[in-house]
Structure 1
Amino acid sequence: MEAATLNSPQFTTLHGPLRSRRSLLKLHSNSISFNSPAKFSVRASATGGGDSAVTLLDYGAGNVQSIRNAIRYLGLDIKDVQTPEDILNAKRLIFPGVGAFAAMMDVLNRNGMAEALHTYIEKDRPFLGICLGLQLLFESSEENGPVKGLGVIPGVVGRFDSSNGCRVPHIGWNSLKVNKDSVILDDVANSHVYFVHSYRAVPSEENEEWISSTCNYGIDFISSIRRGNVHAVQFHPEKSGDVGLSILRKFLLPNSSITKKPLEGKATKLAKRVIACLDVRTNDNGDLVVTKGDQYDVREQTKDNEVRNLGKPVELAGQYYIDGADEVSFLNITGFRDFPLGDLPMLQILRYTSENVFVPLTVGGGIRDFTDANGRYYSSLEVASEYFRSGADKISIGSDAVYAAEEYLKTGIKTGKSSLEQISRVYGNQAVVVSIDPRRQYLTSPYEVGFKSVKVSNLGPNGEEYAWYQCTVNGGREGRPIGAYELAKAVEELGAGEILLNCIDCDGQGQGFDIDLIKLISDAVSIPVIASSGAGKAEHFSEVFSETNASAALAAGIFHRKEVPIQSVKDHLLKKGIEVRI
């Protein structure tokens, strides 16, 4: 594990020439306007400083912008920890731990903050740990270890076992079983909250008195703890919509006069996710718009051949949050391939969206190593870091992952230098999505090529019964000598935490997902698979969830054009007995 520090390049916001460089795009204020569409509209009034300040321990990895936004959304100010004394003097302390356990403990120990944290918690001061902020309280973790933790709670943090059929990482909206008076969870029993992790703390007799809720994912694991004023949750309240904001409000404003109806739901297990995808690029006037392709062609078939304009990115993302999207995914196709970090408008879209959208955000497009016009080299880790710091929870890698997989399959050696390996090593594989864009290549015999093929449900144009799926790069414009099956297996080994599985043949056709392809890949890997391309009606979602092991399904055009509302998809899935977040 590469050690991370508060001053490491990957954990600093880029500045200097990068920040002074003007974007070539026109960023009109009305292109990114946002009218506060978040569903949780109750705010506390901030007075600025004093009792309204929340101390935040941001050790520098991953997306903590969302927890900052949630705190400010609730009307409170933020004081960042700079020294161990800031921890000891905090009135309310939040530790949104993200990334890898060993890197986190290394930073805390090196800066003297581990001891300060231990002292603060022992004194029963108001504390909320999130994700790794819960795990660090235990004695040790098996992640790249064993690695010693703070030792506040007896027990060891171990990895989920994928051999029982569970996808690892555990990504998505799962149910809570509240065990006792948890204070901050009292109003959200049986609700779905958002998890994204590969390691978990196991309940035992030794730590039983700490446990306030559990969650089941193959086994029961600890989803929250509470003793006195000390709380910690494995899930991400800042990414759990109304439910998560309610939890944060209970911790941050325990004496608030605001009353809110309990959000008790009917969650019983991990829900299937419905994801809204926004392809973002410039139109011919230079404005950022959401567009949609037809087999990856985003231009209208008219005399003017204009780029399809289906709305403004931030406004659409906000509306999808209101409509119940479980995640929002941005695909940046706006042409900054030679200078990804020059795409300041895309970074601003993330920042504005994350201020009011409290579900996970994924961004893809142009995340790779590059050298700018001045000869300054930027690693893919630096590029990804800027997107994380701007509000992304996950980044999606496409073409670069194909090249890395080809090299790995050729040599059998993990160099650690690819974008995929660099980013997953520091931020964890749960933060890395690999987007696969294959085309169907029909065969008369499964032995015609050296790649994994399938017997297709629908015959090819010349009556072919088989097909293999050739991967492409550069937006589907270039075919590569690797199949989707081989690519998926390789990127899982290289550190991908999730696969976004597209199909160029089905894109924009509205005839349904490519079930043959999705079944092939979702059966081959143990990480979650997101089905994409081809949805035209609600029934296509129940079909893909019933006939494959897909964990999520993504759509774009049908949502943008309001042909099939997100809520209609979820209502249909519920009628079919498929659990979704409501």
Structure 2
Amino acid sequence: MISLLDYGAGNVRSVRNAIQALGFSVTDITCPDDILRAERLIFPGVGAFGAAMERLQRLGYVEPLKEYLAANRPFFGICIGLQVLFDGSEESPGVAGLGFIPGHIRRFDVGSLSVPHMGWNDVRLARESPLFANYRDEKLYFVHSYCAAPTPENAEWQLAFTDYGAPFLSAVQRGNIAAVQFHPEKSGAVGLQLLRQFLAGENTTKPITNSLQQTHFAKRIIACLDVRTNDAGDLVVTKGDQYDVRELGEVRNLGKPVELAQRYYDEGADEITFLNITAFRDFPLADQPMLEVLRRTSERVFVPLTIGGGIRAFTDASGKSYSALDVADEYFRSGADKISIGSDAVATAENYLECGNGDGSSAIEQIARVYGNQAVVISIDPRRVYVNSPDDTRHHTVATTTPGPHGEGYCWFQCTIKGGREGRDVDAVELAWICEQLGAGEILLNSIDRDGTGAGFDLELIGAVSQAVTIPVIASSGAGQVKHFSEVFAATGVEAALAAGIFHRREVPIAAVKTHLREQGIETRV
């Protein structure tokens, strides 16, 4: 009996779908006694250490888990499922872990590298294990801000290491108990194979073929799907130029969302982002078509899925109120791995600028507190505002190589809301910085000026924002050729680049982008 410990924090749908895609049946843990009845137990999770332990305590799962582990019964932990095996974590001081592995989980201290460690990296095996019997130096998907350091006290547990500034434990195992920091259910075919090894109870090992002296973090290529209803009421993928999605009076229809997402997964996209731009976002929990898109996509696409559009507090037509966390819960349960917040983040930043701090009530703070910083992406939609001198505005300016309409040599990047239709007195640099302080884990940086132009990413905008934050930045808007991807990575050091129209129309294949990047000496996932 394969049992899944769904403790209510993080997207476990993808793990369940991966197990079923591999041909195995799975049952959910619904009460403490189910843990002791399990034959093979999987503990997945994305979230904050303290929130995870609090839920385990509240559900009465802690003592049965300790008993199960003490009996050396088959156990496989994923991400938080690895971290809770330790004594505790800096993420949640004073909160005890399961105390099965000596040591504390520490926040990354990696100098100039971005935190969270978000993306694809290798693992370096320390010894043989059935889990890695078929592993061949392939990249796996990580997303975490805290990690387990190898120490003499946990030496007997050390199975694999990954380098991100310094080596950390990416896999542990002793006897029948194993756990990994990466997400096999989000790591494509290689991750599914590793999960199969555990599910099948595979006990044979092969000699270590892992020849890596150091692991290498890869730049991510992300496919973005703008999803909305067309005039006939069908849910379609569309694309705009400067955010105008209509052509000859009709909404551009570039395909069906689930089928396109499947295509991009097959073509090697490292992540898929859905931006929900339909009117349903006024009442996001009533948006059953978009929730169904997530559910169906997560059944066949085993890389990370991000959803944006309408993630905020709202009151429905009957007068019932929902928090942003209520909305996020439903999207995570439907298959999302990360939540993208747009217009609501601008309003939050305006309040922060007025009050000088956050009060804990924003969507960013609520979601990060439960699901962890890595689950919150801030989508910024700025446009250029030209000025003659930095003294002409309070906002962060750059000296631009593309002067304004009247020869202005400087510009600042004004944040917009409502799909670019309304500008606000907040600039992209301060918005990104404020959102990081409130708990966001990643920035999706668009550009209204470059959107749909094919002229390349706005390097001045991207450079300004990436220098202002320590969290990962995704460059978006303007890609038209493969060289634009290598340019943005070389010029700004961002962790990821996103495109939509050129992928939808097959003008630039994802494989061509990755081939070009490798030719330029830029690490990618093959």
Tell me the TM-score normalised to structure 2 length.
Answer: 0.97
Cα contact 2:228–2:236 (8 A) shared by 1? yes
Mark the CA change 1:264 to 1:475 in structure 2 (over 3 Å): closer, same or farther.
Answer: farther
Structure 1 position 190, deviation (Å) = 2.0
Cα contact 1:187–1:263 (8 A) shared by 2? no
Greater shift after overlay, 392-401 or 165-174?
Answer: 165-174
Cα contact 2:315–2:322 (8 A) shared by 1? yes
Structure 1 position 256, deviation (Å) = 10
Which residue of 1 is the match for residue 394 of structure 2?
450
Which residue of 1 is the match for residue 234 of structure 2?
287
Which residue of 1 is the match for residue 160 of structure 2?
213
Give the residue type in structure 2 aligned to 1:351.
Answer: R
3-state DSSP of counterpart to 2:368: helix
* Partner residue of 2:41 out of 93, 115, 132: 93
Mark the CA change 1:189 to 1:206 in structure 2 (over 3 Å): closer, same or farther.
Answer: farther
3-state DSSP of counterpart to 1:507: coil
CA distance in 2, matches of 1:425, 1:149: 17
* Partner residue of 2:182 out of 235, 250, 256: 235
* Partner residue of 1:340 out of 277, 284, 287: 284
Give the residue type in structure 1 aligned to 2:366.
Answer: Q
Cα contact 1:191–1:263 (8 A) shared by 2? no
Give the residue type in structure 2 aligned to 1:578.
Answer: I
Cα distance per residue 1:346-405 (max 9 Å; x no partner): 000000000010000000001111111111001111011100000000010000000001
Structure 1 position 437, deviation (Å) = 0.3
CA distance in 2, matches of 1:329, 1:339: 20
Which residue of 2 is the match for residue 318 of structure 1?
262
Structure 1 position 97, deviation (Å) = 2.7
CA distance in 2, matches of 1:228, 1:294: 56
* Partner residue of 1:184 out of 131, 136, 143: 131
CA distance in 2, matches of 1:99, 1:339: 26
Is residue 84 of structure 1 aligned with residue 32 of structure 2? yes
Q: Which runs of 5+ in 1 are unaligned?
A: 1-52
Cα contact 2:51–2:369 (8 A) shared by 1? no
CA distance in 1, matches of 2:391, 2:43: 54
3-state DSSP of counterpart to 1:511: coil
Cα contact 1:176–1:189 (8 A) shared by 2? no
CA distance in 2, matches of 1:107, 1:207: 26
Which residue of 1 is the match for residue 424 of structure 2?
480
CA distance in 2, matches of 1:557, 1:337: 22
Structure 1 position 264, deviation (Å) = 7.2
Which residue of 2 is the match for residue 158 of structure 1?
106
Tell me the TM-score normalised to structure 1 length.
Answer: 0.88
Which residue of 2 is the match for residue 134 of structure 1?
82
3-state DSSP of counterpart to 2:44: strand
Greater shift after overlay, 178-187 or 275-284?
Answer: 178-187
Mark the CA change 1:308 to 1:246 in structure 2 (over 3 Å): closer, same or farther.
Answer: same
Greater shift after overlay, 221-230 or 265-274?
Answer: 265-274
Which residue of 2 is the match for residue 21 of structure 1?
none
Cα distance per residue 1:189-211 (max 9 Å; x no partner): 42211111111110011111111
Give the residue type in structure 1 aligned to 2:106.
Answer: G
Which residue of 1 is the match for residue 272 of structure 2?
328
Q: Which runs of 5+ in 2 are unaligned?
A: none
CA distance in 1, matches of 2:503, 2:45: 34
* Partner residue of 1:309 out of 247, 253, 259: 253
CA distance in 1, matches of 2:209, 2:461: 38
CA distance in 2, matches of 1:111, 1:516: 50
Is residue 539 of structure 1 aligned with residue 478 of structure 2? no
CA distance in 1, matches of 2:215, 2:298: 28
Cα distance per residue 1:319-350 (max 9 Å; x no partner): 00000000000000011233111110000000
CA distance in 1, matches of 2:50, 2:365: 17
3-state DSSP of counterpart to 1:277: strand
Is residue 196 of structure 1 aligned with residue 148 of structure 2? no
Is residue 109 of structure 1 aligned with residue 53 of structure 2? no
Give the count of matched residue pairs.
Answer: 524
Which residue of 1 is the match for residue 67 of structure 2?
119
Mark the CA change 1:272 to 1:306 in structure 2 (over 3 Å): closer, same or farther.
Answer: same
CA distance in 2, matches of 1:446, 1:117: 59
Is residue 358 of structure 1 aligned with residue 302 of structure 2? yes
Which residue of 2 is the match for residue 525 of structure 1?
469
3-state DSSP of counterpart to 2:151: coil
Give the residue type in structure 2 aligned to 1:346.
Answer: M
Matches within 5 A, 1:52-63: 53-63=1-11
3-state DSSP of counterpart to 2:279: coil
Structure 1 position 98, deviation (Å) = 2.4
Cα contact 2:8–2:55 (8 A) shared by 1? no
Structure 1 position 148, deviation (Å) = 1.2
CA distance in 2, matches of 1:282, 1:109: 43
Mark the CA change 1:263 to 1:63 in structure 2 (over 3 Å): closer, same or farther.
Answer: farther
Cα contact 1:177–1:189 (8 A) shared by 2? no
Give the residue type in structure 2 aligned to 1:574.
Answer: R
CA distance in 2, matches of 1:109, 1:332: 36
CA distance in 2, matches of 1:445, 1:253: 66
Cα distance per residue 1:79-133 (max 9 Å; x no partner): 1112222111111000003211112112222333111111111211111000010
CA distance in 1, matches of 2:37, 2:515: 49
CA distance in 1, matches of 2:170, 2:25: 27
Which residue of 2 is the match for residue 32 of structure 1?
none
Greater shift after overlay, 453-462 or 126-135?
Answer: 453-462
Structure 1 position 422, deviation (Å) = 1.0
Is residue 513 of structure 1 aligned with residue 457 of structure 2? yes
CA distance in 2, matches of 1:264, 1:336: 49
Structure 1 position 284, deviation (Å) = 1.1
Structure 1 position 263, deviation (Å) = 10
Cα distance per residue 1:417-472 (max 9 Å; x no partner): 11111111111110000000000111111211000000112222222211100000
Cα distance per residue 1:206-248 (max 9 Å; x no partner): 1111111011111111000011111100010000001110100
CA distance in 1, matches of 2:88, 2:370: 19
Which residue of 2 is the match for residue 494 of structure 1?
438
Cα contact 1:188–1:265 (8 A) shared by 2? no
CA distance in 2, matches of 1:337, 1:83: 35
Which residue of 1 is the match for residue 333 of structure 2?
389
Cα contact 2:163–2:215 (8 A) shared by 1? no
3-state DSSP of counterpart to 1:167: coil
Is residue 441 of structure 1 aligned with residue 385 of structure 2? yes
Give the residue type in structure 2 aligned to 1:82.
Answer: T
Mark the CA change 1:135 to 1:480 in structure 2 (over 3 Å): closer, same or farther.
Answer: same
Give me the identity figure in percent.
Answer: 62
CA distance in 1, matches of 2:57, 2:94: 16
Matches within 5 A, 1:16-55: 53-55=1-3
Matches within 5 A, 1:57-72: 57-72=5-20
Cα contact 1:57–1:80 (8 A) shared by 2? yes
Structure 1 position 511, deviation (Å) = 0.5
Cα contact 2:130–2:202 (8 A) shared by 1? no
Q: CA RMSD in A?
A: 1.7
Structure 1 position 140, deviation (Å) = 1.4
Greater shift after overlay, 501-510 or 107-116?
Answer: 107-116
Which residue of 1 is the match for residue 366 of structure 2?
422
Cα contact 2:432–2:469 (8 A) shared by 1? yes
Give the residue type in structure 2 aligned to 1:107.
Answer: R
Give the residue type in structure 2 aligned to 1:401.
Answer: A
Structure 1 position 254, deviation (Å) = 3.2
Which residue of 2 is the match for residue 378 of structure 1?
322
Structure 1 position 70, deviation (Å) = 0.2
3-state DSSP of counterpart to 1:352: helix
Which residue of 2 is the match for residue 144 of structure 1?
92
Give the residue type in structure 2 aligned to 1:116.
Answer: P
Cα contact 2:130–2:203 (8 A) shared by 1? no
Give the residue type in structure 2 aligned to 1:532.
Answer: S
Is residue 503 of structure 1 aligned with residue 447 of structure 2? yes
